[in-house]
Amino acid sequence: MSTLIIQHDDCLRHDPGAKHPDSALRIQAVLSGLEGIRGLQRLPAPYATDEQITRVHPAEFWAGLQTTEPDEGRVSVDPDTFLSSGSIKAALRASGGLCFAIDQIVSDKAQRAFCVVRPPGHHSEPEQAMGFCLLNHVAIGAHQALGYDGLNKVAIIDFDVHHGNGTQAIFEQYPDVMYVSSHQMPLYPGTGHIEETGRGNILNLPLAPGDGSTAFRRVWDRLGLPAIHSFAPDLILISAGFDAHERDPLAQLEVQDADYRWITRGICELAGDSCQGRVASILEGGYDLKALASAARAHVEGLLGL
């Protein structure tokens, strides 16, 4: 079965400003980085439905977000997070793309997928857009997965350099979803301490500024991946942020392309043991375009077992 690349040009039309790190050029960098890789099938991301969104975000929040979108210019939600004309469609494609990828995987039309979408999602809490994020796509995807018969447990792996506070807040009292995150600390948003364990389904793996390949691989090899193995999920979702890369301007970890290939291969091997190899990944952060292209390529090669 092929590995899917899910994308839509609507994701280019979210415009948080010329100097904002979450540029549409990020999507173009990822897609250029994937050129020449065999075994990929590119499909368009559909819109998420209101039903899919409101499993995570209250209807009042979602309606308010839509009415906040301006016809021109941009509106700030917080100092880092903006809505422009086109932002709602971009967010709908991002959440819808992951839900579609999961549908394809569960129906055995594909085994793995990478959703090349923006804006990112893992900081968005149920009633608060923040940290560049409007909707929490990976949480929406997890609920989509749990709606299938026989899909009773979902694991979310997050190796973005920032802690996914929104994803943790959504699932910390939800034992059928395990959330495991490696992230730099201290760093925005200030959550993700080891002591934050939910109902035993949250595992945070904070790393210190300057930590690189050895520390990154150690925490995942000794703690993160074994915890997921013990949880035995029916599907694995990845919040694939590449801003822990040594070139990224927003943080100070020293992760390299080879580490992203290594962790992705490890996740896929684990998925082969527990959930028929089913893995769906979605782009989160990554703000140096050259590093984003090369790290995303390494990630997809890992999905393909290369």
What is the domain extent for residue 222? 3-303
pLDDT value of position 33: 98
Tell me the backbone φ, ψ of residue 236, rounded to 5 degrees: -115, 130
What is the distance between the alpha carbons of residues 122 and 197, in angstroms, rounded to a whole number?
A: 17
What is the tens place of the pLDDT at every residue in 77-114? 999 999 999 999 999 999 999 999 999 999 999 999 99
pLDDT for position 212: 97
- Whether the Cβ atoms of residue 106 and residue 278 lie closer than 8 Å to each other: yes
Look up 143 and say whether it is catalytic: no
Task: Say if residue 271's pLDDT is above 90.
Answer: yes
Best CA proximity match to 156, nearest among 306, 214, 140: 140
Has residue 232 got a pLDDT over 80? yes
The catalytic residue among 57, 122, 123, 183 is 123
Q: How far from each other are the two terminal CA atoms of the chain, in whole angstroms? A: 15
> What pTM does this model have?
0.97
The CATH number of the domain holding residue 227 is 3.40.800.20
Q: What value does the mean pLDDT of the chain take?
A: 97
User: Is residue 256's pLDDT more than 80?
Assistant: yes
How many CA atoms does the CB half-sphere of 303 hold within 13 Å? 32
pLDDT of residue 2: 81
> Which residue is it, tokens 């979902």?
154
pLDDT of amino acid 203:
98
pLDDT digits (tens, 9 = 90+) for 37-92: 999 999 999 999 999 999 999 999 999 999 999 999 999 999 999 999 999 999 99
pLDDT range class, residue 180, cuts 50, 70, 90: very high
Q: Work out how many domains the chain is built from and give that number.
A: 1
